[in-house]
Structure 1
Amino acid sequence: MAFTEVHDRASRAVMERLGLRPAGIIRREGLVEGRTGIHPDAPLALFRRVDLIR
């Protein structure tokens, strides 16, 4: 399992090349596109390995 900022296309592409697939959105402290600084409720893309999903 892994997560990254929703707007971070490069990290999302790496995760997909590693065999991870989108599994939802979680909210944690992080960066928000178009806003400065760290935010307490940033949307993060959650990824997981497809071969482990049953």
Structure 2
Amino acid sequence: MEIRWEKLYSGGLGRFYDTSESSRRRARRAQLAWFGVVIGIGVAVGAVAIAWRWI
């Protein structure tokens, strides 16, 4: 039985997780949460830019 290791970046820190199902699910959730934060910041910046033009 082969155990593979992937380097997944979470919060800018390189951490190693084994590629078991639960670890992959947890890493995917962390990645989606991080993308959610980035998209939220992008939307906020866009909204401020639009509001700034209307002022």
TM-score, structure 2 normalization: 0.24
More helix by share: 2
Find the structure with the greater CA-based Rg. 2
More strand by share: 1
TM-score, structure 1 normalization: 0.24
Greater RCO (Cα-Cα under 8 Å, separation 6 or more): 1
